[in-house]
Amino acid sequence: MQFRSFNAPDPNAPDRPLVTVFCAVWHKQPNKLELLRSHWANLKAQSIPVEPCYIFDNGDVAPDWLEAPWYSFDAPLTIYEAWSAATALAQTNYIMNLNMDDRLATNAVQAMVATAAATKSTLVGGEWLVSFDESHLEQEFVVEDLWKTSFVADWPPKAQADLRLGSGTAERGTYGPATLWNLKQVGQWYPSYFGNQTPIKSIGDSIFWQMLSKNNCKFTRIPMIVGRYYSDEDSQAEFRPHQDNDHLRAHGVSLVSFANFVLSGDFSKWPGLDPEPVVPERGPRNKIEQASDKLAAQFRAMGLGAQCPSQSVAVQ
């Protein structure tokens, strides 16, 4: 495993952006270049400067017109390995993910980072309008209120007009397809593997939020529309069959993240996409809460991530 950097930002440049916005550009993504072009346009349209971070895998390279920072890994990556790589490569105070087929309001990043700073929150999420076609990809819009939207708990969402996801209102329980968090507080780390070295394929964001919550980090929800979420159960990772919950119950989460390999430059212990299962020495755990409690204690003790002040988690 090797990776190359292109258009890397200068960490010593004046007036550095506050926020890195990263995206995994999967090598099998249909319409990849078209999505990439409008995704980058969406970041350039933000009301405050953001630092893009595009992660390519399987040796893919960016088109000549992409003048943003990008990185090419020569092997296939899971989505959470790509996200983890972005946390290792980011050099800003805050970081945010944005999927290839989702789009932000032009003032969304500004609103979210301002909220994080004003509330001293570790992580900020917002509300999303669900889109069932690709008409949103090149739209420009601003953060909006919720008055004309409605919520239905069906998952996957069923097509209807003005359907909100429920992440900014806590109706669904998630924090959104894209969240902004304090990288300096959390650290350059993102859950990538279960305790038996199996890659996390679908529930990495949920695991991440749970870990931050166990560390008494403050969460804030913005009950306004900050973006458009594209829903297509035939093509998206969140709807594909997986065994993540079984692996989580049996093995917990590994404290080794793909970010550790990127930061060290040593990929000799990278488990790959199809590792030989390894049972952790501490043995399998049967309850999610037991796994989470033990993981949180180890996470704090090893200094790998969030050291949030002692407080109750705030949902606003």
Rounded-to-integer distance, Cα 37 and Cα 228, Å:
17
Rounded-to-integer distance, Cα 75 and Cα 3, Å:
9
pLDDT at 234: 65
Read off the pLDDT of each residue in 278-292 and give the average, rounded to a whole number.
46
Q: Single out the residue of 190, 201, 197 nearest to residue 252, CA to CA.
A: 197
Domains observed in the chain:
3-302 (3.90.550.10)
Rounded-to-integer distance, Cα 6 and Cα 158, Å:
40
Write out pLDDT tens, residues 254-264.
999 999 999 99
Q: Which residue has the higher pLDDT, 305 or 159?
A: 159
Q: Provide the pLDDT confidence category of residue 274 given band limits of 50, 70 and 90.
A: low
pLDDT at 232: 84
Structure tokens at 280: 């952790």
What stretch of H or E contains 71?
strand 70-73
In the sheet that holds 103-104, the strands lie side by side as 3-6, 70-73, 50-56, 19-25, 94-97, 180-182, 123-131, 219-230, 103-104
Structure tokens at 134: 């690709």
Out of 101-110, 127-136, 271-280, least confident range: 271-280
- DSSP annotation string for 237-304: GGGS---HHHHHHHH-B-S--HHHHHHHT--TT---SSPPP---TT-----HHHHHHHHHHHHHHHT-
Q: Provide the pLDDT confidence category of residue 233 given band limits of 50, 70 and 90.
A: confident
Q: What phi and psi, each to the nearest 5 degrees, are found at residue 116?
A: -60, -45
Q: Single out the residue of 142, 48, 61, 141 nearest to residue 92, CA to CA.
A: 48
Non-local (6+) Cβ contacts of 148 within 8 A are: 162
Which residue in the block uniquely carries the two structure tokens 């700073």?
117
Average pLDDT over the chain, rounded to an integer: 88
Asked if residue 290 has pLDDT above 80, the reply is no
